[in-house]
A and B are shown apart, each in its own frame.
Chain A
Amino acid sequence: MATVEAVATKGPVLEVSGITRRFGDRLAVDDVSFSIPPGEIYGLLGPNGAGKTTTIKMICGLLQADSGTVRVAGHQAGTLAAKAVVGYVPQDVALYPDLTGRENLQFLGRLFGLSGGVLDERVDEALELSDLADRAGEHLSSYSGGMQRRLNIAAGLLNHPVLLVLDEPTVGVDPQSRHAILERVQSFGQLGMAVVYTTHYMEEAERVCDRVGIIDQGRLVAEGTRRELVDRLGERDRIDLGASGDIERWAEACRALDGVDGAAVADHQVQLLVHEGRKLLPAVLEAAERTGVQVSSVDVVEPDLEAVFLHLTGTALRE
């Protein structure tokens, strides 16, 4: 099992201070700051295009920040010293189909300066971790999607990083593999590794992360533990309503109702953030009738990060 290399970090493993990055006129990341101590799994939660990937690319030294600083284990991000202690797991499987699982790991290990017995040890360790030791000699092209994902993650551990950065590692993964991946990520924190985990799945962030930073339109709008974030909602409830028809118009009508703090449309659903949800339901259904919308399902949900996101940004996480 992977262990964390001894690094003299009494303070945070990762310190992000006021980083900003533009692409032309578009402000992709706007004055984002956060820090992560050893052993903590920090989730960056936000919809697609919120700035998560740009942020982690700056952490991994793949992009320069226009302003602000990123320090990893005391080293400025992008330096060879910083890169040596970061494990990066990209969103897509960045491995070679025409190489075997072992060859892929050996190649990536060599890029981290590993060789000889140490390289062999690390490769075996990564293969064990991904449950692929018995298929190490097969070409990656013969692996299932889930197996490739597991190896993609294991490859990020070859250098025994103090900071592991995972960019939406479960996108396009079947539920079983997703479960396995999330279990592994949880174990990394227990090993003392600091982990940055980006996702737009609220359930993943709730399940895996010790703390969550909510990012929207390049800004970190809130961060804290799940409890701390949900407490921001106060007594509010979230109501998910499945419907057909002009649900945008219905959502607009709901926003005008007393007791509705926010309404957003996502995946043929209207999400409402309300005070005393059960009392407000008749008025919501009346608005549906008024706007000609057919309601197919009503679900009053316990306060969660999705509701927090709606509360903070006025939009749904998966909009």
Chain B
Amino acid sequence: MHPALAIAAKDVRQRIRDRSAIVLGIVAPLVIAALMSLAFRGAETIHLTVGVVNSDHGAAAAGLLSALRSPGLKDLVTVVPEPSEGSASAAVHAGRAGAAIIIPSGFTNSVSRSRPLPLTTLTNVNNTVAAQITSSIAQSFVAQVNADRLSVATASAAGEPSGSAAAALDKAHLSLPIRTVQSALGAKRLKTISYYGPSMAIFFLLFTISFTARSFFVERDQGNIERMLAAPLRPRSVLLGKVLSAFVFGIVSLSIIAAVTTFAFGADWGNPLAAGLLSLAMVLAVTATTALVIGVAHTQRQAEGISSFAVFGLALLGGNFVFVSVTPPIMQRLALLTPNGWALRGYTDLATTGGGLAIVGLPIAAILVYTLVVATAASVLAPRALTP
């Protein structure tokens, strides 16, 4: 047996016996992924009730109601008529409606005048998602009405026969832009567990960096590394053995989490071969990062500090805690500097498009570039850790 394999086998055996490693590598990611999935379950199938107070009953109001009940918004919005602003406010306050829209009396007639009446939306601070969607629908409607008003005004100025404002609006075929409806990028909607399963698996995989680097320095302080180096093996075999154990543990951990989240929680990791290769690349990146931490640190404490920084830095930047798509653009760009950011992008694409290897080609290439850069730095710095 190659000495590196003997060292890796010994480390894996120790890690299996260490319950904290099992908890950190398998139990914790499963529990957290399940909890995250439970907590954000509503996010994947948003549906809200919108109260509408129609004090206008004109063509413009009918256009808005028609738009709210259109097939495009059918899955998102249920319209409930409210007799008055007071009852609408009470419904929003009580949570019976996510938000409400007040169409004021004379709204249709005011559209053709120079000072149209405003639409009012009633929202609840405790339901920001409903508030944002309702406001967005109302703003889109108003924007289109304004555009139609401009069209009518332009046509009148050009000498077109003018009819009533309502007729002009009828001709305009009021409808809401399709873009107001949230939709997944791919063909399939991303289930929360399909994001948080891989996300938490990777987050806890990152702890392998901390675990392995710490164990290296503990062994060095206790004379075990020196004893290994007294045997007929090349010093690099010791490092190789240590990171190999991290690799094996990472693969096993990811595989178990993928299997359990798939079969127990219904997560979709996508094409197994593509997901497997993506996972392999990610574990390689973690392994290289582990070697770099060992190379950079001088003591156990330093290793703990540096690896904690690496773990939480990568997790925060890569989007392991929140959907990267809802973060500011700068964060979305920063995520692409991290291997976990690319891995999550790959898993998400696999789950939403149903694609295969071609989908994860770019993420895998990006992760391997990261791995190559980090492994090169580690190969220069890490042998220093073996010098007494």
Contact = CB atoms under 8 A, between A and B. Distances in A.
Nearest to A111: B231
Contacts of A42: none
Interface stretch (A83-91, A219-227, A261-269): A83-91
A94 B223 contact: yes
A284 B224 CA distance: 50
A108 B232 contact: no
B15 to A, nearest CB: 10
Contact of B230 (A60, A81, A96): A60
A60 B1 CA distance: 23
Interface residues of A, number: 30
A20 B3 CA distance: 31
A21 B17 CA distance: 41
A110 B1 contact: yes
B240 to A, nearest CB: 13
A90 B231 contact: no
Contacts of B388: 57, 62-63
B17 A98 contact: yes
B14 interface: yes
Contact of B233 (A81, A86, A93, A111): A111
A293 B227 CA distance: 48
Given A99-B14, A103-B13, A107-B6, A90 B223 contact: yes
Given A90-B226, A110-B6, A83 B231 contact: yes
A94 B232 contact: no
Given A107-B6, A110-B3, A96 B14 contact: yes
Interface string A107-131: 1101111010000000000000000
Contacts of A63: 388
Contacts of A57: 388
Contacts of B229: 61-62
Interface string B224-261: 10111111111000000000000000000000000000
B205 to A, nearest CB: 23
A255 to B, nearest CB: 39
Contacts of B224: 94-96
A80 interface: yes
Nearest to A109: B6
Contacts of B222: 92, 94
B232 A98 contact: no
B301 to A, nearest CB: 20
A95 B1 CA distance: 20
Interface string B16-49: 0110000000000000000000000000000000
A113 B14 contact: no
B10 interface: yes
Interface in A61-105: 61-63, 80-81, 83-84, 86, 88, 90-96, 98-99, 103
A83 B227 CA distance: 11
A87 to B, nearest CB: 9
Given A94-B224, A96-B14, A103-B13, A113 B230 contact: no
A27 B363 CA distance: 54
A207 to B, nearest CB: 26
Given A94-B222, A94-B223, A98-B14, A62 B232 contact: no
Interface in B118-136: none
Contacts of A86: 230
B18 to A, nearest CB: 7
Contact of B232 (A83, A91, A93, A99): A83
Contacts of A93: 223
29 contacts: A57-B388, A62-B229, A80-B232, A80-B234, A81-B232, A86-B230, A88-B230, A91-B223, A94-B222, A94-B223, A94-B224, A94-B226, A94-B227, A96-B10, A96-B14, A98-B17, A98-B18, A99-B10, A99-B14, A107-B6, A107-B10, A108-B227, A110-B3, A111-B6, A111-B7, A111-B232, A112-B232, A155-B227, A159-B231
Interface of B: 1, 3, 6-7, 10, 13-14, 17-18, 222-224, 226-234, 388
9 tightest Cβ-Cβ pairs between the two chains A and B: A94-B223, A111-B231, A110-B6, A88-B230, A83-B232, A94-B227, A80-B232, A84-B232, A90-B223
Given A80-B234, A111-B232, 8 more contacts: A62-B230, A63-B388, A90-B226, A99-B13, A110-B3, A111-B6, A111-B231, A155-B227
